[in-house]
Structure 1
Amino acid sequence: MFCLLSTCFALWANRLDDIRTKLFNPQCKDVLVAAHRGDWRNACENSLEAIENAIQMGVDIVEIDLARTKDGYLILLHDNTLDRTTTGKGKPEEYTLAEIKKLRLRNGCHIKTIYKVPTLEEALLVAKGHVMLNLDKAFDYFDQVYELLEKTGTTNLVIMKSNAPAEEVKRDYGKYLDKVVFMPKVNLDEEDAIQKLNDYLRVLKPVAIEFKFAHDTNPLPYEVKKIMAGKSHIWYNTLWDTHAGGHDDDCSLANRDKGYGYLIDNLGATILQTDRPAYLIDYLKHKLKVMDCKLDWTYLQSENEFQAPSVPYFTVEECFLKGKQSPQTNEDGIIITPYFAAVIDGATAKSTFTYEGKKTGRLAMELAVEAIRDFSKDIDAAEAIGKITEKIHDFYVKHGLLDELKAEPGKRFTANGVIYSYARSEVWQVGDCQCIIGNLYSSNEKEIDAIMANARAAVNEVALLDGATMKDLESHDPGREFIYPFLQKQAVLQNCPVEGQRFAFPVFDGFPVQMKLVNIFPIGDAEEVILSSDGYPHLYSTLHESECYLTDILEKDPMCMRLYKSTKGIKKGNCSFDDRAYLKIKIKK
């Protein structure tokens, strides 16, 4: 028994050492998980039980909040009063520790529990050797906190934090900074954010910095990634939308790659503080497994339907084009000219019209590609999109289709596209093709498609409850059948001229495109641009990663109704739920 206990203690000690090793290595890409107020969804917030739960689930850091009692003891409490989280009333500084210990903690439903308000000393002893503690609302008590760390032998597990100026922190608490981890906080929405960041790096050389920004239109997170590279870890909070530009826990519940994944892959975060630690840990395990997939990559050559030409101003690093059924029916296309690179995605036909054996999505893609081939070198976005629109419109006129397609938008030849212009140093995004420009990622998913995907998933789940099997759904998709009439009708939303229409979206369909709905992204100093269709559930910075993620989805969720909700799944005889095109280019400077 003694040997078993000794082994367990050694493992826990190694666990803390492992966390600290990662934290003190700015090159380490492993993501550390911080649990906000402990595992408060399954225990009272800021309780010993919440800390213990977090330890058991494998969390690396537990965030707790401090307050001080009337007789000077440090306790765990977030609010300025006892009212919400305990059976007491009033401010903690109005009570002695003995009086507070008579109270009971309330859970998230405000129900009284058997648990008591813990002291910081108790929390340190529970965490000792197991996990790091991130102390919030503690900076004003730094001296007292340090006394407890010395007393309990826990100086190695605490992270102190503040947004106080770097010089002030060094002056007042410099004597502790070689023993206790200090993490600055920077609000990227403030004008002097970058100056503060550089001051912290120069004066304090912190192992991590916590950042905050309200909207992902803020360009500074991308600059931060460059500044911090190889110097310090980037910490973001996913507690609610204004902490990380909308890429929060709620966003992650809908799509983990657009929430957690965006912060990690695009903004370089290696520490995430969350209210859903178990969910985040599960995602990280899934992500690690997916990105470590073992495939026979020879198919990327043998099955590729596009061979990239050499051009003078940029280099094609990776490209792949593959139809879900065959090259002849593939509605995705890639075009590369000396001054342009583009991915065009023809929309699935909503009518029976064909021309020379080609459906409307294939025709729209080919017409768009023809138009791009004739672009003048320095054409701007509006003129370029107008040229594609004109090309499709002229086809309607030539074949006597214009009046019919004016009256019935669902029959129009429709395509989405993402186009790189070398001369303009821009990427133009029309519809839901995807792009990565340096650290910027835009999938531009249509809100109406997300609604329809959820509706389809719900109908199919009901079918399963009624006795259908997944095999049955592959043969007959009742969810797709349910939403299909609306998919035909929703074409009235594409290029909708009605001002302020919430669900409107731009496409190439031969009718005027509302330019205010088109994304125009400046390249800036980005060296790489990646363009793709929405045949990839999530776009990554390498073709292998994008293919690995797609492969995982197709294996685990071939009907695209759980892990990745789409308006369609894999049809019998097809290799994927959609055609796919991937193009990665390196810009010559």
Structure 2
Amino acid sequence: MHIIEVFTKGKHSEAANEDGWIVTNDFAAVIDGSTSKVEFRIGNKSKGQFATETIREAISHLPSNISMSEALLYLTEALASAVPDLLHKEAAYRLTCSAVIFSKQRKELWFIGDCQSRFCGITHTHPKLIDTLLTQIRCDIVKYALKKGYSTNELLKNDIGRNFIFNELREQCHFQNDTNPANIFRYPVLDGTPIPPELVSVVSVSDAKQLILASDGYPRLFDTLQESEDYLERVLSQDPLCIHENPATKCLIEGNSSFDDRTFLRLSINDSTL
């Protein structure tokens, strides 16, 4: 397993980047720390950064032949023990991140949340239903504001669409790792609470020679970093409010380089292809 190309960039600054990645002899992963919905930091780090760093360190200690369900327990305990007091606060305070993890021994991808992957010409994404609904609401609000005379620049400075859905973005944290199968809005994340294994997608990569892992900061994945970056640049130029080509729960805020942090990792997972 060898790195072909890797890139990570924070939407606002490198110091504030909540994405991360790791490649070991047996595992590769991209990790996406969740944007905090509450004012809370751990030292000089955001909750998302702290969660990403905790999981990255924990992955480096995973046994090579560990199963998905065993890995979930190990990574969950790593977060739970990092700042135990947060588990007793409301869900929005938990250390939270998503991840896509490749197990070399098992030739499997484990999708915990909304990170993505691409191999053999197919992109695998796992969007949350609640995000899809809130995205639509935000986009409708922004479109309405434009019709009422708001300029694009005004909305890039003050995203009233995101302001409108912000309380719901915070409240959706209660759906994290919900064990109730009747809850259509539940979704898996790493947050120190038990993850229902049935919520984690497992995809075989036994036929793949190359593998791309990425956070959801890329609206569309291509087979190379340059193609993925070029598409992102075009989309941000044409749709900075993120309401048409790249509908999202947030826009390209003035002064930022993108609508979200982003990480792209391309690997050769078959040494004979080098």
Amino acid at match of 1:384: A
Q: Which blocks of at least 5 consecutive residues in structure 1 are unaligned?
A: 1-313
Corresponding position: 1:426 with 2:108: yes
Partner residue of 1:230?
none
TM-score (norm: length of structure 1): 0.45
Equivalent positions of 1:333-482 (< 5 A) are: 333-397=20-84, 400-404=85-89, 408-482=90-164
Q: How far is 1:413 from its partner?
A: 1.4
**Distance in 2 (alpha carbons) for counterparts of 1:500 and 1:315:** 42
Q: Is the 8 A contact 1:352 1:359 kept in 2?
A: no
Q: How far is 1:401 from its partner?
A: 2.6
Residues matched between the structures, number:
271
Q: Is the 8 A contact 1:432 1:446 kept in 2?
A: yes
Equivalent positions of 1:526-537 (< 5 A) are: 526-537=208-219
Partner residue of 1:326?
13
Q: How far is 1:455 from its partner?
A: 0.5
Amino acid at match of 1:483: I
Corresponding position: 1:504 with 2:189: no
2:203 alignment partner, SS class: strand
Q: How far is 1:540 from its partner?
A: 1.2
**Distance in 2 (alpha carbons) for counterparts of 1:475 and 1:562:** 18
Q: Which blocks of at least 5 consecutive residues in structure 2 are unaligned?
A: none
Name the structure, 1 or 2, with higher relative contact order (CA <8 Å, separation 6+).
Answer: 2
Q: How far is 1:328 from its partner?
A: 1.4
1:401 alignment partner, SS class: helix
Q: How far is 1:575 from its partner?
A: 0.5
1:481 alignment partner, SS class: helix
Equivalent positions of 1:117-132 (< 5 A) are: none
**Distance in 1 (alpha carbons) for counterparts of 2:151 and 2:73:** 47
- Per-residue CA shift, 1:389-423, capped at 9, x if unaligned? 101101232xx33311xxx1122111000011111
Q: Is the 8 A contact 2:6 2:264 kept in 1?
A: yes
Q: How far is 1:503 from its partner?
A: 1.3
2:69 alignment partner, SS class: helix
Which of the numbers 193, 205, 214 marks the counterpart of 1:523? 205
Corresponding position: 1:545 with 2:227: yes
**Distance in 2 (alpha carbons) for counterparts of 1:401 and 1:521:** 32
Amino acid at match of 1:575: S
RMSD: 1.1
Q: Is the 8 A contact 1:339 1:422 kept in 2?
A: yes
Amino acid at match of 1:554: L
Which of the numbers 238, 249, 255 marks the counterpart of 1:573? 255
1:584 alignment partner, SS class: strand
Partner residue of 2:245?
563
**Distance in 1 (alpha carbons) for counterparts of 2:115 and 2:205:** 17
Q: How far is 1:514 from its partner?
A: 1.0
In terms of Rg, which structure is larger? 1
**Distance in 1 (alpha carbons) for counterparts of 2:160 and 2:207:** 48
